[in-house]
């Protein structure tokens, strides 16, 4: 700042403001600048394009007509920039290839459509003449406001504010007659400015009709309007699409089922239930393969460190998969053999088997589609909407940052609307897969069987155990996929169950209590879930009034400096 003060300063800031009947302004600024040191090409002038109102910012309708240096044309680069809650027009005046020194006079002529303000009892011109954001001092300033026609005003109708932004310090020295108001200031240091506030009798100025300012109103509110309309339109569109293509048929009355649906693996049942393949569905396949006689699971004790012990689970592949079995079962067994061979520990799979889970998952989705439980692949449906949502959210967010930097409310409105539309799309994505009529029917059966697993009466369970002592293990894979393992185990509290040939609990033989085995089953599920998860660090590839006043108030203002 000290270098700026030493290298250039404004000798005189002279402003001529012509107030018109319709409240518009024609402004001519002559800024005399002394470049007495440093390295400069010219000056820049920032002019606020908006005024903050009760309902937000609105455009004043600025238009730059001419910019001169020493009475001659000069290169001008126009840009917009955000300042606080508003937008500035920046005029960078000068030739970047020419260095200047000495005294130069810059003339800027521009107009504003909405210069005056209108209240119930009076009309008003409240205008920041110099601006409070100059980086250099102004030795003196002068302003003349010319009225549209002769008018008799009193000194009480005039307020002149001077000082830092927000200062209510006023000046009493001014010249007022029927045609104009004229005043000057002494030195204005960086951050200081001069503001004029003139009160006119009501209807002295003609308030422009809405048709004359409609484009400005639209320009002011089009950005926020688009920020609302775009996501609202997206919401309506997606809701109608969901209602037509994503809303499931009513489930109807759920009747308890004592067996799982026929020709439906546990993983398929879990996928139909929540419309997605998750870790419990994948884990249930291990127990389904064991139940079908393709492998066995043996709980063993392994020494982890000194006297601390840890459970592990030995898997033995007993036979190859028959071609008639489901493809997701075959892919799962193929992955086990490829990674572990005929006999291995679950701990050996950790950080490796997850690579085969993708193929198993794809086959599961294909299976529920092929069996006509869904209209299309539910995973593909979700990914399409997720893709659009992520893209819109990313593009909208990135472009919003850019639009705020350049100070465009219109573009900001569009980009915010795009980002919000992306977020709405992501919310709808999980809702878009839709079950067919057949899918709705089998879902009813799945829910009925789930009801059995969590609510079967103890007496009925005793009778079932007499006929099938291993029923706990027979339905275990479904309990895993449906997320009710703990509830299923609790139903066997106090009852003895038989271990099937495919599962061996460490240190337990023959009839055992369900409470003894429930914890081991939970540990084995957790161990295998960990084995099917990618190692840490891996990526899935998808992740009012006219009273009062102050210096810097009203329209206009801004500031500037050298460059």
Residue 6 has a pLDDT of 53
The owner of tokens 């009798």 is: 201
Of 43, 84, 96, 86, nearest to 62 by C-alpha is: 86
**Interval 372-386: pLDDT, tens:** 999 989 999 899 999
**Over the chain, what is the mean pLDDT?**
83
Q: Where are the beta strands (DSSP E) in 114-216?
A: 117-118, 122-128, 133-134, 141-146, 158-164, 170-171, 175-176, 180-185, 192-201
- Supply the pTM of this predicted model: 0.58
- CB 278, CB 270: distance < 8 Å: yes
The two structure tokens encoding residue 269: 């049942």
Residue labelled with tokens 């309309």: 229
Q: What is the C-alpha separation between 346 and 156, in angstroms, rounded?
A: 91
Q: Supply angle C-alpha 193, 197, 198, rounded to 5.
A: 150
Q: What does the alpha-carbon distance between residue 451 and residue 482 come to, in Å, rounded to a whole number?
A: 10
- Tens of pLDDT, residue by residue over 139-196, are 999 999 999 999 999 999 999 999 888 888 888 889 999 999 999 998 998 989 999 9
Q: At what angle do helices 279-291 and 514-531 cross, to 10 degrees?
A: 120
Round to whole Å and give the CA distance between 358 and 334.
13
At residue 251, the pLDDT reads: 80
Q: What is the tens place of the pLDDT at every residue in 250-266?
A: 887 889 999 999 889 99
Strand order in the sheet with 559-562: 76-83, 86-94, 42-48, 559-562, 133-134
Which regions of the chain are under pLDDT 70? 1-6, 52-58, 84-85, 210-223, 302-310, 323-324, 351, 401-411, 507-523, 530-555
Taking each helix axis as running N to C, give the angle between helix 266-274 and helix 354-370, from 0 to 180 degrees, rounded to the nearest 10: 70
């Amino acid at each position: 700042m000290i270098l700026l003060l030493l290298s250039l300063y404004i000798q005189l800031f002279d402003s001529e403001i012509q107030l018109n009947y319709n409240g518009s302004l024609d402004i001519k600024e002559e800024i005399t600048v002394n470049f007495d040191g440093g390295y400069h090409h010219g000056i820049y002038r920032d002019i606020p394009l908006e005024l903050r109102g009760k309902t937000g910012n609105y455009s004043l309708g600025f238009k730059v007509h001419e910019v001169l240096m020493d009475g001659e044309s000069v290169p001008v680069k126009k840009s917009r920039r955000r300042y606080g809650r508003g937008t500035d027009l920046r005029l960078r005046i000068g030739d970047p290839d020419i260095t200047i020194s000495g005294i130069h006079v810059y003339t800027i002529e521009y107009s504003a459509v909405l210069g005056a303000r209108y209240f119930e009892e009076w009309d008003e011109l409240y205008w920041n003449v110099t601006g409070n954001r100059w980086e250099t001092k102004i030795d003196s300033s002068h302003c003349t406001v010319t009225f549209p026609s002769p008018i008799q005003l009193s000194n009480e109708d005039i307020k002149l504010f001077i000082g830092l932004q927000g200062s209510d310090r006023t000046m009493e020295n001014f010249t007022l007659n029927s045609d104009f108001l004229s005043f000057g200031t002494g030195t204005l240091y960086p951050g200081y400015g001069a503001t004029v506030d003139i009160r006119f009798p009501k209807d002295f100025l003609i308030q422009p009709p809405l048709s004359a300012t409609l484009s400005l109103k639209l320009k002011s509110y089009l950005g926020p309007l688009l920020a609302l309309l775009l996501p609202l339109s997206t919401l309506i569109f997606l809701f109608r699409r969901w209602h037509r293509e994503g809303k499931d048929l009513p489930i109807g009355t759920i009747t308890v089922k004592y067996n799982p649906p026929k020709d439906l693996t546990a993983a398929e049942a879990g996928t139909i239930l929540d419309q997605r393949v998750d870790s419990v569905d994948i884990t249930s396949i291990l127990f389904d393969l064991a139940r079908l006689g393709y492998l066995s699971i043996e709980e063993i004790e392994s020494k982890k460190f000194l006297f601390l012990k840890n459970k592990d689970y030995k898997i033995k592949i007993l036979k190859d998969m028959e071609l008639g079995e489901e493809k997701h079962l075959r892919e799962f067994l193929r992955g086990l053999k490829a990674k572990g061979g005929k006999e291995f520990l679950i701990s050996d799979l950790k950080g490796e088997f997850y690579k085969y889970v993708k193929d198993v998952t794809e086959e599961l989705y294909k299976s529920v589609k092929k069996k006509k439980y869904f209209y299309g692949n539910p995973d593909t449906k979700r990914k399409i909407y997720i893709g659009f949502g992520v893209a819109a959210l990313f593009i909208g967010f990135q472009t919003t940052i850019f639009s705020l930097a350049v100070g465009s409310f219109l573009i900001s409105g569009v980009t915010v609307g795009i980002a919000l539309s992306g977020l709405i799309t992501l919310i709808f994505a999980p809702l878009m897969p839709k079950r067919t009529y057949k899918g709705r029917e089998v879902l009813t059966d799945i829910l009925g069987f789930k009801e059995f697993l969590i609510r079967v009466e103890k007496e009925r369970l005793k009778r079932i155990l007499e006929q099938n002592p291993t029923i706990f293990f027979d339905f275990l894979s479904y309990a895993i996929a449906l997320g009710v393992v703990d509830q299923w185990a609790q139903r066997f509290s106090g009852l003895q169950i038989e271990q099937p040939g495919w599962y061996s609990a460490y240190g337990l033989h023959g009839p055992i209590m369900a409470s003894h085995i429930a914890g081991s089953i939970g540990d084995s599920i957790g161990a295998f879930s960990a084995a099917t998860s990618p190692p840490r660090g891996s990526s899935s590839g998808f992740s009012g009034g006219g009273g009062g006043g102050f210096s810097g108030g009203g329209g206009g203002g801004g500031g500037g400096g050298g460059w």
